[in-house]
A and B are shown apart, each in its own frame.
Chain A
Amino acid sequence: MRRQELLAVFLTLLATVGTIGGALWYERSRDAGREVIELLAIQPKNGNWQPSEIRLERGRPVRLKIRNIETVSHGFALPDFGIGIAEIKPGEVHVVDFTPDRTGIFPFYCTVWCSNEHMAMAGRVIVTESVARASSDR
């Protein structure tokens, strides 16, 4: 009886604390070694891309999690790095991995006619030299 009681308590903890901890751990380990940026796709009249400016370091792998939090479809294009997602459906999350290999300012856009202001749904990726590289160059 006592052993079964302990087993039940253990299973309860596994189902609750274990589930939460496991999910959070899995999420962290998936992103290990990458800079993770959550990008919210929002039509311009509701606030536009959040954030609308993404600052990256050259050579540092980055993971964009592009989440459509609206009830209309959006898309994502970062043409300078050949990255495009034709459609991100309402509620969907798309993961994009890339490593910026050059510095500069690169615009990104929505690719679906989400609203009358669709053409204004744009943001910028700003890639700079990494701090480490800059100091070693000197």
Chain B
Amino acid sequence: MKKIVILGLIGLVVSLFVVGSYYALFRYRTFPPAADQPVETLDVLYVARDVELSERGAEDPVWRHVPSKTLALAPQVTAIPWGKASVPEVTVAAFHNGERIFFRLQWRDATENRAVGRDTFTDACAVMLPLVEEPQPNTIMMGFLEGANIWTWKAVRDAQVWGRERAASPAPAERPYTDYYYPLEEREVFPIVRESVASAVEDLIARGVGTLTPRAHQRVQGRGLWRNGTWTVLLTRALATHEAEEATLPVGKARAVAFAVWDGAKGDRGARKSITGWVRLRLWPAEVPAGAAGR
């Protein structure tokens, strides 16, 4: 009798141990590794054509023929202050003509915000070209450690540059102008007031968060047009580079690019923006090598 009780107790203890250990070890689900995140590639074909920075250029038939990519945007939530989720996606197309590269960025935005003031912010977008062609994936907002060349288009600048054409009102350049405004945020650094605005796009360099610096030589041109709740922004620069801080655009090779969009009506400014991850920008030569097509 006693032996049976003891055997029963031993059996109980051992089974409790086995069951307990099994639950402790295996109660958590195991997670299947997610499929590799595909890196988006934007093909930049050679098209022997120029588009003018105008409504006509924005609607030029060439844009219907060159490849475009709709890229998911995420609010910038790495460096403080964080962006709010404002713009979910941006559609980008690009081509080059051997001398210049043209980008067209399009995104939905219900309001056209071309002014800045207290609690009023401008719509904007930017193209970031890291100074190294193949940066580490984690260098966006991590401080673009190797340095980056950033083309920033702002609706407020656009109004100053292209508003002169329409020029019914006094020239905006004669007004006091700022693109940095209250509330000042500790880590937000802006290019400060500039005397003359020659282009709607400002060419900046940065090496680390908060180091945005306008380049001495501004070579990037651009124009934004808002119609029916959509911004269409054209940006263009010569392929050839003149200085080390100017990102190279090597034809026949691929390099990294990233895009950012600001929705001023929703309070985007400075670091508060929506960004893409790195995208591969593949610049095709005039003669497409045999067998390369379709890749």
A42 CA to B277 CA in the complex, in Å? 19
A107 CA to B85 CA in the complex, in Å? 8
Contacts of B29 in A (CB 8 A): 50
A50 CA to B80 CA in the complex, in Å? 25
Q: Which among B51-59, B91-99, B132-140, B154-162 touches the partner chain?
A: B132-140
- Please report whether the interface of chain A is mostly helix, strand, loop or mixed according to DSSP: mixed
Interface size class of A (residues with CB under 8 A): 20 to 34
Q: Determine if B33 and A79 form an interchain contact, defined as CB atoms under 8 angstroms apart.
A: no
B77 CB–A CB distance under 8 Å: yes
Q: Determine if B31 and A86 form an interchain contact, defined as CB atoms under 8 angstroms apart.
A: no
A37 CB–B CB distance under 8 Å: no
Contacts of B142 in A (CB 8 A): 113
A48 CB–B CB distance under 8 Å: yes
Q: How far apart are B31's CB and chain A's nearest CB, in angstroms?
A: 3
Known contacts A77-B77, A79-B75, A111-B77; decide if A46 and B85 are in contact (CB<8 Å): no
Q: Which of A76-106 contact B (CB under 8 A)?
A: 77, 79-80, 84, 86, 106
Q: Determine if A119 and B277 form an interchain contact, defined as CB atoms under 8 angstroms apart.
A: yes
Q: Which of B25-70 contact A (CB under 8 A)?
A: 29, 31-34, 36-37
Interface centre among B29, B74, B77 (most CB of A within 10 A): B77
Task: Tell me the nearest residue of chain B to A78, going by C-beta.
Answer: B85
Known contacts A79-B83, A80-B84, A86-B80; decide if A122 and B74 are in contact (CB<8 Å): yes
- Please report whether the interface of chain B is mostly helix, strand, loop or mixed according to DSSP: loop
Q: Determine if A106 and B85 form an interchain contact, defined as CB atoms under 8 angstroms apart.
A: yes
A112 CB–B CB distance under 8 Å: yes
Contacts of B74 in A (CB 8 A): 107, 109, 119, 122
Interface centre among B78, B140, B142, B276 (most CB of A within 10 A): B78
Q: Which of A50, A111, A112, A115 contacts B82 (CB 8 A)?
A: A111
Q: Which of A42, A80, A86 contacts B85 (CB 8 A)?
A: A80
Q: How far apart are A40's CB and chain B's nearest CB, in angstroms?
A: 8
A42 CA to B85 CA in the complex, in Å? 22
Q: Determine if B138 and A45 form an interchain contact, defined as CB atoms under 8 angstroms apart.
A: no
Contacts of B83 in A (CB 8 A): 79
A21 CA to B75 CA in the complex, in Å? 43
Q: How far apart are B235's CB and chain A's nearest CB, in angstroms?
A: 23
A84 CA to B272 CA in the complex, in Å? 14
Known contacts A77-B75, A109-B75, A119-B74; decide if A47 and B32 are in contact (CB<8 Å): yes
Residue-wise interface mask of B (126-150) relative to A, using a CB-CB cutoff of 8 A (1 in contact, 0 not)? 0000000000111010100000000
Task: Tell me the nearest residue of chain B to A80, going by C-beta.
Answer: B85
Q: How far apart are A15's CB and chain B's nearest CB, in angstroms?
A: 18
Q: Determine if B82 and A84 form an interchain contact, defined as CB atoms under 8 angstroms apart.
A: yes
Q: Determine if B82 and A119 form an interchain contact, defined as CB atoms under 8 angstroms apart.
A: no
Residues in B lying within 8 Å of A, measured CB to CB: 29, 31-34, 36-37, 74-75, 77-78, 80, 82-85, 136-138, 140, 142, 276-277
Return 6 A-B CB contacts under 8 Å, by A number: A45-B34, A80-B85, A107-B74, A109-B77, A117-B37, A119-B140
